[in-house]
């Protein structure tokens, strides 16, 4: 929780400085993972897929005792501004600033990962992964807040163009990070993956493609 709030405060400050040229969006995806693999094997595979793309991450493996439930858990999206501690602060913020305080709560998950990507003048992305066990395998829930810079002067636009040539387009990296986690689980545990739902929705089965090239070192350093 503390990790998300700190990231939200940083994102809120950035938004306040560029409200008129920043586009903020929420994303989420849910994957069904059918496999008999042990928890340790699945979480190890998930972490390997994440670390191939991210250097700034916070990973937790909570203790979840007892047999797996019949149905998987599901992440809950909460807003820290709803807490009484923040009073009427939300009313003083723009919609984009308030969005930065939303985060996923992963109660019952056996693996929780928070990852950040920051490319100055281009993108600030925060992703949360929640892995839930259940009788037939696992479910992976992903939630993210993606803030992209738009507009600005010639200098800002040239800076973003230069950043894209070095670290790639923001949307491509976002999808690659999510799919590499799913792909790593599939490849290392022989799991059968199906897409449950999401926004924006994935089409087809891109996790079955063998596009697992590692990003350039400068891309990971840009987080």
The answer to whether residue 220 is domain-embedded is no
Q: Which residues contact 123 (CB under 8 A, 6 or more apart)?
A: 117, 146, 147, 148, 149, 170
The residue among 222, 223, 187, 188 whose CA lies nearest residue 208 is 187
* pLDDT at residue number 97: 65
The answer to whether residue 221 is domain-embedded is no
* pLDDT at residue number 222: 41
* pLDDT at residue number 119: 74
Residues 17, 20: Cα–Cα separation, whole Å: 9
The answer to whether residue 63 is domain-embedded is yes
Which pTM does this prediction carry? 0.75
The answer to whether residue 222 is domain-embedded is no
Q: Within the chain, which residues score under 70 in pLDDT? A: 1-20, 83-99, 120-122, 150-171, 211-223
For residue 53, the domain's CATH number is: 3.30.160.110
The number of angstroms, rounded, from the C-alpha of 85 to the middle of its chain's C-alpha atoms is: 26
**Cα–Cα–Cα angle for 138, 139, 143, rounded to 5 degrees:** 150
The answer to whether residue 223 is domain-embedded is no
- Cβ(178)–Cβ(30) below 8 Å: no
* pLDDT at residue number 176: 92
The answer to whether residue 219 is domain-embedded is no
The answer to whether residue 113 is domain-embedded is yes
The answer to whether residue 55 is domain-embedded is yes
How many domains does the structure of the chain reveal? 1
* pLDDT at residue number 201: 94
* pLDDT at residue number 15: 45
* pLDDT at residue number 169: 60
Return the C-alpha torsion angle 22, 23, 26, 28, nearest 10: -120
Domain that holds residue 145: 2-212
* pLDDT at residue number 198: 96
* pLDDT at residue number 79: 86
* pLDDT at residue number 106: 97
């Amino acid at each position: 929780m503390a990790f998300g709030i700190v990231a939200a405060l940083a994102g809120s400050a950035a938004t306040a400085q560029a409200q008129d040229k920043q586009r903020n969006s929420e994303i989420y995806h849910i994957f069904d993972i059918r496999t008999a693999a042990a928890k340790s094997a699945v979480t190890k595979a998930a972490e390997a897929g994440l670390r191939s793309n991210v250097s700034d991450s916070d990973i937790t493996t909570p203790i979840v005792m007892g047999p797996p439930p019949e149905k998987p858990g599901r992440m809950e999206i909460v807003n820290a501004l709803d807490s009484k501690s923040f009073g009427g602060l939300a009313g003083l913020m723009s919609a984009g600033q308030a969005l930065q305080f939303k985060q996923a709560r992963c109660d019952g998950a056996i693996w929780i990962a928070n990852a950040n990507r920051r490319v100055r003048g281009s993108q600030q992305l925060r992703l949360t992964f929640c892995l839930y066990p259940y009788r037939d395998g696992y479910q992976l829930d992903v939630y993210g807040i993606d803030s992209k810079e738009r507009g600005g002067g010639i200098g800002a636009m040239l800076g973003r163009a230069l950043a894209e040539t070095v670290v790639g387009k923001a949307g491509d990296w976002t999808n690659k990070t999510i799919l590499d986690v799913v792909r790593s689980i599939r490849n290392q545990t022989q799991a059968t993956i199906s897409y449950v739902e999401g926004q924006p929705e994935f089409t087809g089965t891109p996790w079955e493609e063998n596009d697992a090239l590692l990003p350039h070192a400068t891309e990971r350093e840009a987080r």
